Structure 1
Amino acid sequence: MELVVYLAGQIHDDWREQLRKKAEERNLPITFKGPQENHERSDDIGERIKGRQPNQEFRDQAASEMNNLRTRVWMEKADVVIALFGEKYRQWNTAMDAAVAVQSGKPLILVRPEGLIHPLKELAQRAQVVVETPEQALDALAYVLE
């Protein structure tokens, strides 16, 4: 059995790459998908596909359309969603992706630091598993694959 796992969460560090490497080291049959990790490409994709936009608002909207399409396609194909909330950045996209996963019935592993227990309490109640590190999320997936 192979799992497709959607990695929702901030794109400002390499947590996804670290998780991929650890899964590979453990020979876990997991395919990871997620948002565009190249921030510049994510911001530019709307104009690259639809052409130059008249202002920043339309530029952001065009990029959001493309990024939302990507997210929806990969989340629908995913067996599990891991949503990582970090301390440093506002996590609007993570919250939205986690809510979509819950709404669509996708199993959700919520990764959140101790400092975010209170603000994420309702979402945590809807997740199948709540952990504090991506490595713990990987351990949960390894258990599923036993």
Structure 2
Amino acid sequence: MELTVYLAGQIHDDWRGEVKKLAKERDLPLHFVGPQENHDRSDNIGEDIMGEQPNKVFRDDAASSVNNFRTQVLLQKSDAVIALFGEKYKQWNTAMDASAAIQLGKPLILVRPDSLVHPLKELSNQANVTVESIEQALDVLAYIYE
């Protein structure tokens, strides 16, 4: 049984690649989806589809509507969600995706460092499982197959 896992979180480093590598090493039957990882493509998609916008506000609005559509489709098709909160980047997209997963009734694994326990306490309380590393998140998914 292959599960589809949505990887929610920032796109500025290769944490998704690490998750995929570790899952492959463990021979876990997981298929991963997530947000558009090409930052320029994500920022430009609205204008690429709808044409040049009159200013940056409209440009961002057009891009966010297309990105939100993509996220909603992929979240709905996913069996589970891993939402990673890290130390370095602002985490608005991660919080939005985690909240959407909760609203859709998707099982959610929240990954957050010890330093973010307090600011994420409400979201952590709504997640199915909260862990501190991607290795622990994969341990949770591996437990499904035992």
Alignment correspondent of 2:87: 87
- The AA in structure 2 aligned to 1:102 is I
Provide the C-alpha distance between the structure 2 equivalents of 1:41 and 1:104, rounded to a whole number of angstroms: 26
Alignment correspondent of 1:102: 102
Query: Runs of at least 4 residues of structure 1 off by over 2 A?
Result: none
Provide the C-alpha distance between the structure 2 equivalents of 1:47 and 1:21, rounded to a whole number of angstroms: 34
Alignment correspondent of 1:67: 67
Deviations 1:4-25 (A, max 9, x none): 0000001010000111111112
Provide the C-alpha distance between the structure 2 equivalents of 1:17 and 1:84, rounded to a whole number of angstroms: 13
Alignment correspondent of 1:46: 46
Provide the C-alpha distance between the structure 2 equivalents of 1:122 and 1:145, rounded to a whole number of angstroms: 29
Provide the C-alpha distance between the structure 1 equivalents of 2:47 and 2:17, rounded to a whole number of angstroms: 27
CA apart distance, 1:27: 1.4
Alignment correspondent of 2:144: 144
Provide the C-alpha distance between the structure 1 equivalents of 2:134 and 2:37, rounded to a whole number of angstroms: 17
Helix, strand or coil: the match of 1:54? Answer: coil
Work out the number of aligned pairs and report it.
146
CA apart distance, 1:145: 2.1
Residues 1:119 and 2:119 aligned together? yes
Deviations 1:65-114 (A, max 9, x none): 11001100000001101100011111111111111111111110000000
CA apart distance, 1:125: 0.9
Provide the C-alpha distance between the structure 1 equivalents of 2:145 and 2:11, rounded to a whole number of angstroms: 27
